[in-house]
Amino acid sequence: MRVLDTAALLHWPVSELAGNICSQSQQAELERVSPQRWMLIQAIDIDWRAPDSVWLAEAKRCAAQSGDLPRLSDVDLDILALALGLNIELVTDDYRLQNTMKSSGKQSTSVDTSGTKQVWTWIRRCTGCRHTTEVPADVARSKKGNVGECDRCGAALVLKKKR
Ligand SMILES: [Zn+2]
């Protein structure tokens, strides 16, 4: 029993999917990406769950610690919360989710690649004064763009790998 990301739902043989756990928020995502696949998947015995708020808070805490949080979507956080909360393996090709799992000492496997070997930490660096700060658990999330403003000089903060 593992938590599957949407890439696994799309690309794994249907026979491999049954008995695994997915987030309810993946249903809309899957339906949008591939309506045909969604039709097939609905006939399979998948355990659709919604993570509770305690698990979501833990997922945010772990993703803030590795610095991946600003780039995670709501669906990403849901499946991360399920894997961490249930303490089971996460199947994902998303390198940010893999990195968060690894940095939390947890297992993840990739859908069809060999996966990341290294673990790294992201920090926020000011584009003005170059001051660096850790990623807070209440950071705004989006797939790209700035990740806040510097509280020293007001310039934009960007994500950088911590050296
Ligand atoms: Zn600054």
Distance 151 CA to ligand 1 centre (A): 7
Indicate the pTM of the whole model: 0.81
Count CA atoms within 13 Å of residue 157 on its CB side: 23
CA–CA separation, 17 and 15 (whole Å) = 6
pLDDT the model gives residue 61: 97
pLDDT for res 145? 87
Report yes or no: 89 and 109 within 8 Å, Cβ to Cβ: yes
The model's pLDDT over 126-145, given as tens digits with 9 standing for 90+, comes to 999 999 999 999 898 988 88
- Residues 24, 35: Cα–Cα separation, whole Å: 16
List the chain domain ranges. Answer: 3-109
Q: Span 52-78, mean pLDDT? A: 96
Confidence at residue 99, expressed as pLDDT on a 0 to 100 scale? 94
Instruction: Find the 49 Cα to ligand 1 centroid distance in Å.
Output: 41
What confidence category does residue 24 fall into, taking pLDDT thresholds of 50, 70 and 90?
very high
Q: How far is ligand 1, taken at its centre, from the CA of residue 157, in Å?
A: 8
Ligand 1 geometric centre to CA of 135 (Å): 15
Fold of 3-109: Rossmann fold (3.40.50)
Asked if residue 139 lies in contact with residue 163, where contact means CB atoms within 8 angstroms, the answer is no
For the record, the structure tokens of 82 come out as 């399920």
